[in-house]
Amino acid sequence: MKVLVINCSPVKTGATAEIVRMISGELSGRYEVKSICIDDYSFGFCRGCRSCHKTAACFQKDDISLIMDEFEKADIIVSVSPSYWADIPGQFKAFIDRCTPWCNTHDPHSKLSPGKKGYAVALRTGPGMQECERIIGSIVHFYGHMEIDCCGSLGLCGIGYKDDLSPRTEEIRQFCKMI
């Protein structure tokens, strides 16, 4: 089975990237794992034209198709997102908006292969879980419209830097065991 772990942060070297590295390492003994960073791809914003509601494709030709190819290849998708002002980063939101051609709320629409499972990981610097729950909710909502079955989530508070992850290593390992 193939797993895609996506760093939904534009920061390639921060705490989110470290969590992606930790999860990828934990899962690599059981699965074929690929990790990507949203910032490694170039794509524009959704124009809201709704042409994809008629064609099941976006007129913009950019890296969205490359990311969606990775989604298609994966059996399991793990989205790891930090909090940017109490929700997912703008780059990840722009990606989700551009997935409208695959959204199951209109026909015709493109479709990923059925049976994909998803997991959501949220992190934030503050102490309260409410922000993590909002981020997880955004990812779960996205998965639902992509017909990806969300099977679990993890919220990590008090994470501002990579060093903050040391006391959370076992919690992340336990999360990986359910994947």
Q: What pLDDT is attached to residue 104?
A: 96
According to the model, what pLDDT value does residue 168 have? 97
Q: Which CATH class is domain 2-177?
A: alpha beta
Which residues lie closer than 8 Å to 86 by C-beta, 6 or more apart?
131, 134
Confidence (pLDDT) at 35: 98
**Alpha helices (runs of H) in the chain, residue ranges in sequence order:** 15-27, 52-55, 64-73, 90-98, 129-146, 169-177
Per-residue pLDDT of the chain (179 residues; tens, 9 = 90+): 999 999 999 999 999 999 999 999 999 999 999 999 999 999 999 999 999 999 999 999 999 999 999 999 999 999 999 999 999 999 999 999 999 999 999 999 999 999 999 999 999 999 999 999 999 999 999 999 999 999 999 999 999 999 999 999 999 999 999 99
- Give the pLDDT of residue 110: 95
Q: How far is CA 166 from each of CA 19, 26, 84, 158, 162, rounded to the nearest angstrom?
A: 11, 15, 22, 12, 8
Other beta carbons within 10 angstroms of residue 30's beta carbon come to 12
Measured distance CA(124)–CA(117) in Å, rounded: 24
